[in-house]
Structure 1
Amino acid sequence: MPAQVVTPEQLAVIENRPTSVSAMFFDRVRNSGSREAYRYPDKDEVWQSLTWAQTGDRVTRLAAGLVALGIQPEERIAIASGTRLEWILSDLAINAAGGATTTVYPTTMADDVAYILADSDSRVVFAEDDEQVAKLRQKHSELPSIVKVVVFDGTTDGDWVISFDDLEALGEKYLAEHPTVVEDRVAAITGDSLATLIYTSGTTGRPKGVRLSHDGWVYEGYVMVAADILSQDDLQFLWLPMAHSFGKVLLTTQLAIGFPTAIDGRVPRIVDNLAVVQPTFMGAAPRIFEKAYGRIIGMTEADGGAKLKIFRWAEKVGIEYSRAVRSGKPVSPVLKAKFGLADKLVFSKVRARFGGRVRFFISGAAALSPDIAEWFHAAGVLILEGYGLTETSAGAFVNQPDNFKLGSVGTAFPGSEAKIAADGEVLIKGPHIMRGYHNLDTESASSLTDEGWLHTGDEGRIDEDGFLFITGRKKELFKTSGGKYVAPPHIEGMFKGISAMTSQILVHGNERNFCSALITLDPDAVAEWAAHHGMEGKSYTEVVRSPEIQALVQGQIDELNTKLNRWETIKKFAILDHDLSIESGEITPSMKVKRNVVEANNKAILDGFYS
């Protein structure tokens, strides 16, 4: 692939960006008023639609309602909800009122909710339902700054808790007396004004509030305008948690470009929704692609016979074709013909599972296995991996449809800088960098240099074409007792490309004399396997403890070990009797494994490997 070339025209687009997210939103309302903005399922699961003009009217009324409640510029207003239309309307209204959004995952426990709201000094909370309101009532005495709770679907009390409609009505009344109040608030916002306070769930310790400015979000959106890979005619399907920066940046990108977005945050409905919505692109965490890959492989292996033989032949042809295309060399007529047949028999059916119109997926929030990325590319499904942190307003690097390298996270955003420090750490500088951690001056100073470089904590290398390859996380790198360094994410990504049934794998071995692993299998894949191996109806625990599954995973570990250095090989492993979950505290809402929690919960197993 050629090195990235940033044109003067692209830089001009980025440099001439609007001042704030709110200015960008109302520009979009003016320019695309009659076009569709959002699509969402109603209570009867029928998809409804809002135009940009309708969205602008609702946001204006909600913003005026917040002003009527006494919200001042840059005061924090929290949203505790899953991904849905009301989340987006609330966020837009908060910024239009001059306020800043504090994000709260709906799975957050009451103690952490209270900590986030108190630390952020939030004044109002948008709550999804009675379950979220109950957490606030439980901690009411600890939250004196909360003047009002606005509930989407739940019980109101006419005092502390009001409905979404109540807030909109309050805003309509306020606008009658102060018709320019929202315009005035938007005009007063500067690029440096606080737009969002995202509390990172973190894999250790208390969550930290990352202070993100309006200019950072606007920059992210206009980078995508300059890239010219999306248009108003695209259709996004959005399910990602909006409390995570990845979901939030896709909203900003939408405002900059103007394509419609179909919204439904219910993860179990993703596949069904894709078939109905038929989007042209979607952002997702790698776990979604891993599950889809595992499901497709599992179903085909269960069919067996001629179907499986054709599938395996198509896989081989597809990967050969993918590699030939990516090499830039001419593809032979024979390979083209074979791929055409493989596509007709197998790959077209894979694409149909995603609605049949997807031009590409964007993968972020965690590392994607290069083997899985290649498998999907062979099937005609391009996954563009990107990289960033909450501290970079989500994106910092991304691959592009006409300029990508599988296994890399792409090139740096135009208008930003990146370099590799002497110790291998990735450093980033640009308009998208956070304004520090909320109420944590010492931690802010240690993460940001005086020159504005952000220490990412990730190790990587940048090749001659400007593509970044993440090689590990500094804190996750460990050394065996023999003095050899091991990067667990690299090994874990390789294994997920080998084992379609695997949900999570954690490689262990710090100061140990060899590496071991804890493995969990995907419950859906386990059920599929059990149904075809005489174990239908047996529990997950019974199936994963069976000699057959143990032998299957052992074979996959053996295959993995042939690809590793001697000191990296997995000598012992255990399949856990449960999958990791957000509820158990073993993974974050963005699907990152909390290594310290998993290792502590399974200390006896790990110690047993080395006894």
Structure 2
Amino acid sequence: MPSRWPKLRAIKERLPRLKAVIQLHGPFEAFVDHEPGYFSWQKLQEQTFSSELKEELLARESRIRANECAMLIFTSGTVGMPKAVMLSHDNLVFDTKSASAHMQDIQVGKESFVSYLPLSHVAAQIFDVFLGLSHAGCVTFADKDALKGTLIKTFRKARPTKMFGVPRVFEKLQERLVAAEAKARPYSRLLLARARAAVAEHQTTLMAGKSPSIYGSAKYWLASRVVKPIREMIGLDNCRVFFTGGAPTSEELKQFFLGLDIALGECYGMSETSGAITLNVDISNLYSAGQACEGVTLKIHEPDCNGQGEILMRGRLVFMGYLGLPEKTDEAVKEDGWLHSGDLGYIDPKGNLIISGRLKELIITAGGENIPPVHIEELIKKELPCVSNVLLIGDHRKYLTVLLSLKTKCDPKTGIPLDALREETIEWLRELGIHETRLSELLNIPADLQLPNDTAALAATLEITAVPKLLEAIEEGIKRANKYAISNAQKVQKFALIAHEFSVATGELGPTLKIRRNIVHAKYAKVIERLYK
């Protein structure tokens, strides 16, 4: 940016490794293209180079081998210490080509992408960088505050044609749309609800492989005109492909976007597989992560009577190993080449992979029952729309408990949770006859927790004395969720509220917005212990 030039020029001497500063667009300062190390993109392209430099470039290229490490990606550390995953040039190129071959309707040279996830995440590398190169697409890099509230502005400007988002990103979009809808007139809300239902019905019919009736097609045509302005408002009207992954995506979230003519196709992958290994492209269902990409073999290790077991995969996209951790590498990749994912799932008769949990996150109660936490957490969130985060506790315990945080607004610059409740939380509370609009009023805690101060947050959590009507409503919601439990051991017995919403800024969420369970367990150990006294 032109406004940054004076600052860069002032500190350039203090940056010995900075070789050049290149500006893409004007206006240009007078010293650009005239002083060493300052270039405009146009003039840089026009430069000619000596034969020695060309030979040096060829020599460097010739020294690169396909099986050499090209990138280090650190695991998220949601259940343990992060590990450095070594990915070779061949891993990355193969995964890019494999994912690309699985996709449909690729318009080379016309695709548009928005990169907003940290590039330290393998999904951002594959979907934003490598697929962008493979499709000769335009990649727009969002600003650093994208996940704090500015992402829609970038979407409006870039108008992406393909999008990948972790579930939390789509949840944030949903929250903004729901809050905006709550301010509309009753008639407008009713019209939009019926239009969404008609669009979702049409999409569901197509997924089932059926042809919609003439009446159904006409109803969809009219309804799609009602929801189209919403897609335009969030900048996704040109987007033809929507992928989500990195964490479980609830059926409720998928249904919400289906009503906006946005079918969220789940994909599955790991840092250790160089990115995606399955893509739900030709969406025929909303429950699976799709079928294996080209060149990838999947199998279920030691399946139970329901066909469920650990997901194993093999192919050229399996990583080189963990840097400096040969014993961990041997645990993950066996001699026969199969990578043990640590994830639980099964493959349906059509070859679709269904993810059901994670082995390392699996809760084993004192009674010896294995319980995947995500399923129960999602049931509770479905019953309690005021709840933002749910964390199931119960490993080696006599019964299950949960930690809950309520939906609040956050600071758009820092990402730190604020005291003000979100509109959908306020609306839900009003239905209970509760009129508080701030978390501090609702839980009787200090309004300013000095976040990201862990000590103050824990102290406030231990002193919570919530409004009785709120506690009763939460308890009733958990009871409703417990009706879906397949055994008494899977029923939640107690809960505790947390003094603020989970966030990246306060450490409970990782860079891809997944809950860092080990961090939350350690931070709120006293709260957890109190649930078992």
Q: Give the TM bin, normalised by the shorter chain.
A: 0.7 to 0.9
How far off is 1:477 after superposition?
1.1
Task: Give the Å deviation of 1:346.
Answer: 4.1
Which residue of structure 2 aligns with residue 199 of structure 1? 74
Q: In terms of mean alpha carbon deviation, does 268-277 or 369-378 score higher?
A: 369-378
Alignment of 1:359-438 (within 5 A): 359-400=240-281, 402-422=282-302, 424-438=309-323
Corresponding position: 1:515 with 2:406: no
Secondary structure of 2:261 counterpart: coil
Q: Please name the residue that 2:439 is paired with.
A: 540
Question: In the alignment, what sits opposite 1:235?
Answer: 112
Query: Do the aligned partners of 2:178 and 2:424 also contact (CA within 8 Å) in 1?
Result: no
Mapped to 1, the partners of 2:311 and 2:208 lie a distance apart of: 27
Residue 187 of structure 1 is matched in structure 2 by 62
Matches within 5 A, 1:267-416: 267=146, 268-303=149-184, 305-346=186-227, 348-350=229-231, 352-400=233-281, 402-416=282-296
Aligned counterpart in structure 2 of residue 261 of structure 1, from 116, 123, 139: 139
Q: Does the CA-based 8 Å contact 1:457-1:475 persist in structure 2?
A: yes
The letter of the residue matching 2:63 is A
* DSSP-derived class of the 2:421 partner: helix
Query: Which of residues 528, 533, 538 is equivalent to 2:423?
Result: 528
Dislocated runs of 4+, deviation >6 Å: 151-154, 170-174, 534-537
**Aligned positions, number:** 464
TM-aligned CA distance change 1:181 to 1:436, over 3 Å: same
Quote the offset at 1:479 in angstroms: 2.6
Of residues 414, 438, 446, the one that matches 2:331 is 446
Which amino acid in the other structure matches residue 373 of structure 1? K
Tell me how far apart the structure 2 counterparts of residues 509 and 351 of structure 1 sit (CA, whole Å).
44
| Alignment of 1:591 onto 2:513 | yes
Deviations 1:325-363 (A, max 9, x none): 211123234443443443333464245323321112211
TM-score by length of 1: 0.69
SS at match of 1:579: coil
Secondary structure of the 1:504 match is strand
In structure 2, what residue type is equivalent to 1:165? Answer: V
Letter in 2 for 1:240: L
State the 1:44 CA deviation. Answer: 7.6
Residue 315 of structure 1 deviates from its aligned partner by: 4.3
Which deviates the most, 507-516 or 376-385? 507-516
SS in 2 for 1:212: strand
User: Does the alignment pair 1:219 with 2:99?
Assistant: no
C-alpha distance in 1 between matches for 2:438 and 2:55: 62
Deviates more, 1:453-462 or 1:497-506: 497-506
For 1:530 and 1:329, locate their aligned partners in 2 and report how far apart those are by CA, in whole Å. Answer: 39
State the SS of the aligned residue for 1:565. coil
Gaps of 5+ in 2: 23-35, 304-308, 410-419, 444-465
Matches of residues 81-120 of structure 1 in structure 2 within 5 Å? none
Q: 1:499 to 1:398 in 2, by over 3 A?
A: farther
Deviation at 1:564, TM superposition (A): 3.1
* Residue aligning to 1:103: none
CA shift in 2, pair 1:152/1:260, >3 Å: farther
Distance of 1:154 and 1:541 partners within structure 2 = 46
Is this contact kept in 2: 1:152–1:164, CA < 8 A?
Answer: no
Matched-pair identity in %:
27
Residues 234 and 259 in structure 1, CA contact (< 8 A), matched pair in contact too = yes
Could you report, residue by residue, the CA deviation over 1:456-493 in whole angstroms, capped at 9, with x for unpaired residues?
11011011111111111001111333443211112223
Pairing partner for 1:602 from 517, 524, 529: 524
- Give, in whole Å, the separation in 1 of the partners of 2:310 and 2:95: 23
Give the conservation status (yes or no) of the 8 Å contact 1:586–1:598: yes
The one-letter code matched in structure 2 to 1:221 is: T
Cα–Cα, structure 1 residues 481 and 207, in superposed 2: closer, same or farther, change >3 Å? closer
Deviation at 1:304, TM superposition (A): 6.5
Mapped contact 1:209–1:437 kept (Cα < 8 A): yes
* Contact 2:361–2:373 (8 Å) recurs in 1: yes
Aligned to 2:25: none
Deviates more, 1:435-444 or 1:182-191: 182-191
Shifted more, 548-557 versus 286-295: the winner is 548-557
Q: Counterpart amino acid of 1:162?
A: L
Quick one: distance in 1 between partners of 2:65 and 2:167? 35
Which whole-Å CA distance do the structure 1 matches of 2:198 and 2:350 have between them?
Answer: 28
Checking the alignment, whether the CA contact within 8 Å between 1:421 and 1:427 is kept in structure 2 is yes
Q: Is the 8 A contact 1:508 1:515 kept in 2?
A: yes
Which amino acid letter does the alignment assign opposite residue 478 of structure 1? I
| In structure 1, C-alpha distance between the alignment counterparts of 2:527 and 2:498, rounded to whole Å | 10
